[in-house]
Structure 1
Amino acid sequence: MFKRKEREAPRKLTEFFRLAEGRKIQDGAGAGSRSASSTAQTNNNPTPSSGESHINDNPLSSSPFCSPVKQKRRIGEGGGNEDEAEAAGNEMDESSTQAEQLDAFPTSGQPIIDTTMKEMLQTLRGALQSDMAMFMNNTKREISAISNRVEYVENKMEEFTLAHNELVDAHFEVEDEIRAMRLKMADVEDRARRNNVKFRGIPETVKPAEITTYLQKLMMTVLPSLSPADITIDRAHRLPKPSFLPEQLPRDVIARIHFYHIKDQLMRFARQHPSLPDPYAGIALYADLSQATLSARHNLVPITKILRNNKILYKWGFPAKLLVEMNNESHAITSIEKGLDLL
């Protein structure tokens, strides 16, 4: 910016001289017209007034180097034509401050002394300093406005950051609560189904009204020590067939055993004997569990395979987890990573 101002200094000085030369030409033209008018008035009026004689006799009145301000003052003092004086005064009032400053400097027809050059340079320096001060003030105002805007944006960003952090913390808390609620719901649903047993493989020829009797006979065959009161079944019916089962396989039957300990004995027998005695050899028994528990147990299938291959006893807990005893210590496995670390 300063280099640009330094390059503009000689150009401004040149403009000063050009304006001064133009002022000289205008002053010369004005002096010629006034001289012609004065000659005409002299011929018409042989005895001019003292004021007119003063204007005509003054050699500086028509000088091109005399400033318009001085000419205006002399015209007023001489008591000449009032209209011309008023017109000249209006023209002088319309001139700029820069033109008035140039009137004090010599034109190209006069020699430039050191003092005059110094004054011209000081005037140029003052103009440059004024421009620089104006530019710096504008720049400071703009920087101040930008600084205020940046400070406002920073404050807003700080508020947004705090609000975002609060939302993230609340989000994590809600996720933990939702996870706990899902586990609780799955546990409640599994407890409501704990007396249910799924039978897969019962022929479709067994009518719905005959399902309860068919299941009671199966229980008496598997557990002959039971009494008729122990094999009470609250209700039993068929389920819609899942899409992953073969088409020829009959629909599953779900039954609610009235006594939980009887249901537990029945499931224990099914785990110990892969095949039931005739005529129920093709029937399999499964626990009735919620979908959330089934998904969690399916994720732990690789761990159960390792436990069976190593002949390590385990059982399922609620919510879905594996309860394993190793080296006289009980362990709960809730994920594959934890199971692999344990094994």
Structure 2
Amino acid sequence: MKSSKKTKKTDSSLVAPIFTPRTRTVARPQDGGASSRDGGRSPSPGSDTSEMEQDLGPATRQDIRRLQDFIAEELARNTRALTAEVQVIGTRTARLEERAEAFADTCNTLAHHAETLATRVETLEEALEDLSNRSRRNNIRLRGLPESVTPDALDATLTGIMKKLLPALPPARYLIDRIHRTLGARKGQNAPPRDVVARLHYYSTREALLRTARDQQVEYEDGQLLFYQDLAPSTLAKRREWRVVTELLRSHNVRYSWGFPFRILVHKDGRTYSCTHLYRAQDFLHQLGLEVPDAIAQLTPPSSLPRLSRDWSPAGD
């Protein structure tokens, strides 16, 4: 029986020519003989002899040229595709950088405006605090007066205390414009009495009363009375923050005073030293020749808002 030759069909549009298998006819062994090419091995029953007949020999020069042409065409096609993608990515990156620069400029402008507004608000707060303290210049705050003194008796009680402390003043100088206790209910039966705030008609009377009460002790019903300036709450809060510095000055017998707008003043060796912010107290104490406490040395000035850079550098620079 004559054997028929079979070949495998391949799609040349999908597979390079060099990869197309080449076949040749192989003589079959007669009467049980073996082929000289396969070492005498016979195909197993039912196997496809066409698959065994494929030529696996070396490629020719023509095959190599076809392979080179195929690889060059594929490289050119991939290069064109990559070039187009890089151009698209470059265009998008340029647009993103332009938008990032616009965002950086906007952020920096807003930061500048915010710092300007913060400075203006601080200036307005200082002016408002100064106005509040100026409106209280004739006020005096009395601490320690028992709650048993009724509101109707406050005027007569304070007038009697002033006559005792300032007997040389004319009776007209004891004039009180208004007097009342601080706002708010009393916290408890055993709580300290609320302060009394009085506005004296004459500023000179208020100054004389504060000087006299500073030098001598004043008592009322076996209780000590204390006289203070009536100041804005913000000013009192700032003075409490300066307690570390004021205690250091008092421990070295350095006399100080408070100025308006808020500042601390020290007169030493014919010179006047002043400071307005607590974070600057380190230089202030150095000028006075005093040791700076750790609580003051750790203070830093307020930092400005961060700015964004418009300069772009390649990755890794």
Same fold? TM cut 0.5: yes
Cα separation, 2, equivalents of 1:152 and 1:278: 81
Kindly indicate whether the alpha-carbon contact (under 8 Å) linking 1:197 and 1:287 is maintained by their aligned counterparts in 2: yes
Letter in 2 for 1:290: A
Cα separation, 2, equivalents of 1:337 and 1:223: 42
Kindly indicate whether the alpha-carbon contact (under 8 Å) linking 1:240 and 1:252 is maintained by their aligned counterparts in 2: no
Q: Determine whether 1:255 maps to 2:198.
A: yes
Aligned to 2:285: 340
Q: Determine whether 1:311 maps to 2:311.
A: no
Instruction: State the superposition RMSD in angstroms.
Output: 3.0
Letter in 2 for 1:342: Q
The one of 253, 265, 271 equivalent to 2:214 is 271
Q: Compute the displacement of 1:201 (Å).
A: 1.4
Q: Determine whether 1:166 maps to 2:170.
A: no
Cα separation, 2, equivalents of 1:280 and 1:244: 22
Aligned to 1:186: 129
In structure 1, the gaps of 5 or more residues are 1-10, 25-107
Which digits, 9 at most, give the CA deviation of each residue in 1:17-70, with x for residues without a partner? 35xx69x9xxxxxxxxxxxxxxxxxxxxxxxxxxxxxxxxxxxxxxxxxxxxxx
Q: Compute the displacement of 1:323 (Å).
A: 1.2
Kindly indicate whether the alpha-carbon contact (under 8 Å) linking 1:324 and 1:331 is maintained by their aligned counterparts in 2: yes
Letter in 2 for 1:295: A
SS of 1:229's equivalent in the other structure is: helix
Kindly indicate whether the alpha-carbon contact (under 8 Å) linking 1:237 and 1:254 is maintained by their aligned counterparts in 2: yes
Letter in 2 for 1:339: F
In structure 2, the gaps of 5 or more residues are 1-14, 26-53, 289-317
Higher relative contact order (CA 8 A, sep 6+): 2
Closer, same or farther in 2 for the Cα pair 1:240/1:246, shift >3 Å? farther
Letter in 2 for 1:126: D
Q: Compute the displacement of 1:206 (Å).
A: 1.4
SS of 1:282's equivalent in the other structure is: strand
Kindly indicate whether the alpha-carbon contact (under 8 Å) linking 2:219 and 2:225 is maintained by their aligned counterparts in 1: no
Cα separation, 2, equivalents of 1:319 and 1:270: 25
The one of 126, 129, 136 equivalent to 2:79 is 136
Kindly indicate whether the alpha-carbon contact (under 8 Å) linking 2:143 and 2:225 is maintained by their aligned counterparts in 1: yes
Q: Compute the displacement of 1:221 (Å).
A: 0.7
Aligned to 1:98: none
Cα separation, 2, equivalents of 1:158 and 1:246: 66
Q: Compute the displacement of 1:277 (Å).
A: 5.6
SS of 1:230's equivalent in the other structure is: helix
Cα separation, 2, equivalents of 1:154 and 1:173: 28
Q: Which has the higher helix share?
A: 1
Letter in 2 for 1:161: A
Q: Determine whether 1:301 maps to 2:243.
A: yes
Closer, same or farther in 2 for the Cα pair 1:128/1:277, shift >3 Å? closer
The runs of 4+ residues in structure 1 deviating greater than 4 Å are 241-246, 277-281
Q: Determine whether 1:16 maps to 2:38.
A: no
Letter in 2 for 1:276: V
Aligned to 1:218: 161
With normalisation by structure 2, the TM-score equals: 0.68
SS of 2:171's equivalent in the other structure is: coil
Closer, same or farther in 2 for the Cα pair 1:119/1:267, shift >3 Å? same
Cα separation, 2, equivalents of 1:246 and 1:124: 106
Cα separation, 2, equivalents of 1:169 and 1:280: 60
Number of residues of Structure 1 aligned to a counterpart in Structure 2:
242
